[in-house]
Amino acid sequence: MKKLSLILTAALFAACAQQPVAQPLLEQLKQTAESGRFYYCHQDDLMYGHSWRLEDADCDFSRSDVFDVCGEYPSMLGYDLGGIELGSDKNLDGNSFRQMRQAAAWLHDKGGIITFSWHPRNPLTGGDAWDVSSDKVVESILPGGEKHDEFMVWLQRAADYIQSYGFPLIFRPWHENSGSWFWWGADLCTPEQFKQLWIMTYDYFVKERGIDNLVWAYSPNGVVDAEKYMLTYPGDEYVDIMGFDYYHGHSANFTEGMRSQMETILPLAKEHGKVMAVCETGSEGIGNPKWWTEELLPSVEGFPVAYVLTWRNAWDRPQHFFGPWKGAACEQDFVEFCNNERTIFVK
Ligand code: BMA
């Protein structure tokens, strides 16, 4: 059983992306990674779980699939901004933006950390984030593009929401860009356009809006080639975390596949003075009941990673789960994972 210990140290002002308010969080992530431990993060935890979800009027956020199984909460929550760009009350998976903020504050008060991803709609076609029918989308939203002004309103809405949190957060925009399943993916824009998109986002948030509570995470998917990883890297000034997304099934052996990612990224993270993290992972439906201790833990063994995020437990798709839940075959194994000395949970 472990308690989350918050280690806040004096700020080290290196040449990196984070702003003063985010600095203690970044230091905490660095020190945690160096200590050999990592935060366990679960996407959409507290909002819903396998076969349950919050009602709109709910303001008690104590239910959690993770807690149901091990009696402790994930030390990190992953939430998604998808839908905020349109001014919606709920995100793309039906979570209320208000409740996400309340639940995040609830876990933050217990020492927890929040990380945001963003699956925004396609600003050119009107489709969703997965609409890759045009390779002109990124171009269209960059300065001078036909959708630039509209897209700046999307950024403004996302910035307003993030600003309403008032405590440090991890922001992981434009993720999995090494694949081509999102409109900002590898085959849909040039590396230069991708970097411009990132820098435009950063400049608007940080320089124009003065948002100083974000730690910025860069997270391509499944890249084992250092040159490819760096091809779309926006620059040290704009990134704090060098992470990656990698799922079970990407290669024949998950553990080896994960380790190859980190063998590529760790030297880069060291060279650039960044923190490494597993920004998204999981095995959909967790076929191996010992996945947590037989596959996930060995995959990060010996690597300094600040956190490991497993994706969501959909409440309406019984096989679409990546975390534990009461009754799942992996229940007991997850308790062992929770009790392992490396993992950090919140009581
Ligand atoms: C995907 C799936 C979708 C979901 C999306 C955004 O991986 O889980 O069902 O809508 O992420 O959260």
Average pLDDT of the residues of the chain: 95
What pLDDT score was predicted for residue 133?
Answer: 98
Atom 4 of ligand 1: nearest residue by CA position: 93
Residue 13 pLDDT more than 80?
A: no
Report pLDDT digits (tens) over 135-144: 999 999 999 9
Q: Residue 114 and residue 106: Cα distance in Å, rounded?
A: 11
Distances (CA, A) of 112 to 40, 167, 265, 347: 10, 11, 26, 10
Cα of 287 vs centre of ligand 1, distance in Å, is: 19
Identity of the residue numbered 145 = G
Atom of ligand 1 nearest to the CA of 80: 12
Q: Residue 233 and residue 314: Cα distance in Å, rounded?
A: 32
* Ligand 1 cavity residues, CB under 6 Å: 80, 92-93, 119, 311-312
Atom 3 of ligand 1: nearest residue by CA position: 93
Report pLDDT digits (tens) over 191-234: 999 999 999 999 999 999 999 999 999 999 999 999 999 999 99
Q: Residue 173 and residue 184: Cα distance in Å, rounded?
A: 10
Cα of 66 vs centre of ligand 1, distance in Å, is: 19
Report pLDDT digits (tens) over 83-133: 999 999 999 999 999 999 999 999 999 999 999 999 999 999 999 999 999
Report pLDDT digits (tens) over 146-201: 999 999 999 999 999 999 999 999 999 999 999 999 999 999 999 999 999 999 99
What pLDDT score was predicted for residue 6?
Answer: 42
H helices, E strands: number in the chain: 10, 12
List, in order, residues 6 or more apart from 172 with CB less than 8 Å away.
Answer: 115, 116, 117, 118, 216, 217, 218, 219, 241, 243, 279
Atom of ligand 1 nearest to the CA of 43: 12
Q: Closest by alpha carbon to 132, among 180, 194, 197, 200?
A: 180
Q: What band does 4 get if pLDDT is binned at 50, 70 and 90?
A: low
Cα of 100 vs centre of ligand 1, distance in Å, is: 16
